[in-house]
Structure 1
Amino acid sequence: MVVPAAGAALALGMTGVAGAAVIQNAPEVVPAVVLDDQGDTQIEPESIMLAPADGNDAVNFITWLVWNDGIAVGTGVEQVNTCEPTCAEGTTLSKPVVIVLDNVEPLDDSDDVHFTEARISGVDGSRTVELSSVAILPIDDAA
């Protein structure tokens, strides 16, 4: 038996009004933030500098696929200075990576939470980085 689309929607209780009611009654999800070493917060930064003291390791050009109150998943380009023979004379290598932020903890004096760990996965394997001393670069609102 073939059921027209409108009939199927009515049979399932999926009218436009019912669909809107479900969306309006959905709980608000407050997304977690990235907290940098200066105490600044940001949602979906385009760059996270993993070694802010010397700037020799960063994930740039991040496109976030998921960002909510428990996990963030994105793709980007990790740019790492080889520091050979010295960091001043080193070469910057660029490689595609997946970045996953998780392990949320509450922010002081707030109901908000922030991510405390980043997992970086790429062709060289995976590693976990604590987000206690990262720098976040702001999103350019002019773009």
Structure 2
Amino acid sequence: MNVSAGGRPARASRRRVRTASLLCTVAALTAAVLPASAASSSAHIGAAASSARTPDPQDPVVLVDCFSQAQTRPAEYILACGDGNNRLVGLRWHSWGPGSATATGTDMVNDCRPYCAAGRFRAYPVTVTLSHPQAWPEHPDLRRFTTIRLLYTDTAPDPVPKDVTYKLVY
């Protein structure tokens, strides 16, 4: 019988290592799912107004995160709310206006090989453009960006095209 240094069977030692590895993976994935924006220095916009009204085009425009929190100029933003396997980091905002906002940063994408818990995050430089502000029903004094365009400045994660636009539905 194989015995570990502590006098226990090697099988039990391997099981503890596997359990510890699994717990570390779960902790890392949990941290990835939490909105990075919650720890960022971005401004969180206040609560809803006391009376409903039609938003003015000059009202503040926000980006809504996975937890329905309004943000302006976030340093990080999770794209994959369900599992946290795709997020924008290191965002540097060059403009933030009533009709659009533009930033450069990095899209961190889990390659999920051989499966997501064992995958590695890969970095892809990207230009981000937010557009199409619309009324935010939950907050009548705010408008929210409803479209995000990612323009990969080098390579794009397979099978994503180098220029892709997504509807923001949060």
TM-score, L = length of structure 1: 0.68
Q: Separation in 1 of the partners of 2:117 and 2:136?
A: 37
* Alignment partner, residue 68 of structure 1: 97
Q: Hey, which of these two has a bigger chunk of strand by percent?
A: 1
AA aligned opposite 1:117: T
Matched pairs, number: 106
Q: Separation in 2 of the partners of 1:63 and 1:115?
A: 17
* Alignment partner, residue 119 of structure 1: 149
Gap runs ≥5 in structure 2: 1-57, 157-161
AA aligned opposite 2:73: E
Match status 1:36 vs 2:73: no
Measured after TM superposition, the shift of residue 36 of structure 1 is 2.4
Residue in structure 1 matching 2:140, options 82, 105, 110: 110
Measured after TM superposition, the shift of residue 30 of structure 1 is 3.8
Q: Separation in 2 of the partners of 1:100 and 1:132?
A: 16
AA aligned opposite 1:128: T
Q: Separation in 1 of the partners of 2:123 and 2:167?
A: 21
- The percentage of aligned residue pairs carrying the same residue is 30
TM-score, L = length of structure 2: 0.58
* Alignment partner, residue 129 of structure 2: 100
Match status 1:81 vs 2:130: no
Other structure's SS at 2:148 match: strand
* Alignment partner, residue 129 of structure 1: 166
Conserved in 1, the CA contact under 8 Å of 2:65 and 2:78?
no
Q: Separation in 2 of the partners of 1:77 and 1:37?
A: 19
AA aligned opposite 1:54: D
Gap runs ≥5 in structure 1: 1-28, 134-143
Measured after TM superposition, the shift of residue 35 of structure 1 is 1.4
Q: Hey, which of these two has a bigger chunk of helix by percent?
A: 2
Q: Structure 1, residues 67-121: CA drift from partner, whole Å, max 9, x if none?
A: 0111000000110000011001111110210000001101225232100111011
Conserved in 2, the CA contact under 8 Å of 1:37 and 1:132?
no
Conserved in 2, the CA contact under 8 Å of 1:33 and 1:115?
yes
Measured after TM superposition, the shift of residue 37 of structure 1 is 3.6
Root mean square deviation of aligned Cα: 1.7
